[in-house]
Chains A and B, each alone.
Chain A
Amino acid sequence: MLFETIRLALRSVRRNALRSFLTLLGIVIGVAAVIAMITIGSGTTEKVKQDIAKLGSNLLTVYSLRPMRGGDTNFTPRALNERDMEGLLDGLGDVRAISATSQQTSRVVYGANNLAAQVTGADTDFFIARDWDVVSGRTFTESEVRGGGNVCLVGQTVRTTFFGDGDPADAAIRVGRMSCRIIGVLEPKGTSGFGQDQDNVVVMPISTFQRRIAGDRDIGQILIAVNDGVSTAEVTEEVKAILRQTRRIAPDQEDNFDVRDMTQVADAMTSTTTVMTGMLGALAGVSLLVGGIGIMNIMLVSVTERTREIGIRLAIGAHEKHILVQFLVEATVLSLLGGLIGIVLGLSLAGLATATLSIPFVPSMSVILLAVGFSGLIGMVFGFFPALRGARLDPIDALRHE
């Protein structure tokens, strides 16, 4: 009986093809909007997560604080140095990597070409902490880091600018006023979540950086990679305790350094995009509601138009519930059909948008099921009133209807 009714409903949809299509359009647009918005939103969240993972997950960044202009600060500013680094190396328990790094933007020259690149002084642990490998060549040796060798690694942007597809191994580039020999090429990292080209880099031993680029013994940041499963918050506390000692901060003074926890940054950013996704989805949901009203409207027209048909059916023995189910099924079939087309359209739109924005395409099965379920529900809810109106018709009046 139900199968029969569905067949009947499909036939009625087909017979009024244009009208059905226009009615469907409301649902199609609604479902497509919801799916596209949520898929693009989830893609954005995923992209942020990936970007932060690129910076290194479980990564703590220690940096010194500078007094804020006009601010009332209760600390003595002082850069990080060798002693802080040693204190952490001795005092911290089991961590994956501790790396002293410094950065400065410098002009890098090779032959007739030059570009402004991020020049980073680093040690061997830097590549572990940042989870950054070479695609060719090698990273530094311990002796190169200690001895301040004139060697460097370049990022993909630097490599393509200077060498195109060629092999830059052993080429000498000028960084600021020093010359260094390229020993390796770093794997591409892409653009960071903050919009910075992470491949426009030259990495050299920190001792070389301090002597030849910065001209002092300061350390810019200390990166600490925490082992998987270890709480970054706990390690942060340990780091703070050690640094207060090595930096001889009096108990009544505030920290003149800070520890940034990447997982916290990641959480903050993903929660922002998640809220955004939800809001976009809810807005798109409103259009689904409008689509539902379209269904109700057309079902009312359909019931009026087919009053005589309802009369015939009632006269030859259809029960109220048969008529009710017939129109309900028709409305549901109509909106489900719209839902299915909407899914295809929404996913296509999302696929196009994610490809254009170069963010991951992450279709969610639950969102798709929800959209189908919701469009079916809309058909039933908005189809119910017109269906009931049809079912309650008096057969004699309905038969007289012209």
Chain B
Amino acid sequence: MSYYFTILSPTDTPVFNIAFGTSKSGGDGIARFRFPDTAQYMNQFIIHSSLDIVEEAQWTNGAMYLKHVDTYPPAAAYISAFLTPSGVRFLLLHQPPQLSNSGGSSGFGASSILGSSSNLARGSTSSIAANPTSPQTEEAVRQFMTEVYENYVKTAMSPFYKQGAEIRSPVFRTRVTAAGKKWL
């Protein structure tokens, strides 16, 4: 599973970006997205386009953690979102690894997008790496988001941080990485 985590200001400007891979089940923590190296901008496109859904979901969902809000089927990218009181949004794009039988994944593996949501679970069902919509994954992402949120609040309270500016703090970055390692 590969992750792309973004913090967006209320005006959609990115405050913080990080890409990392899973550390669970023998992962090395390096992101391997399905896009070719020349098309890494797709992550940002997908994140940006999911704001449509986030804007809709934030009025219908009472929680700060909006859970899995959006999917980009062609690349099997899933977006989870988290809202903060100041209108800052945490968006996590997660993408399960390319299945070994690529023919299967391009064929009916994608039918989980509509209706039956249990199709992608045929890999190792329990690990969160294989199934982005399972309750386990939701819970793990929630834990991750909460931890990042705590760190974000501390960072935002720093007297040297200007509201809405990019977060350059290396401490924050290492803490997000640690949270990712811990939960995802």
Is chain B a partner of chain A in the same complex? Answer: no
A interface residue numbers (CB < 8 A to B): none
B interface residue numbers (CB < 8 A to A): none
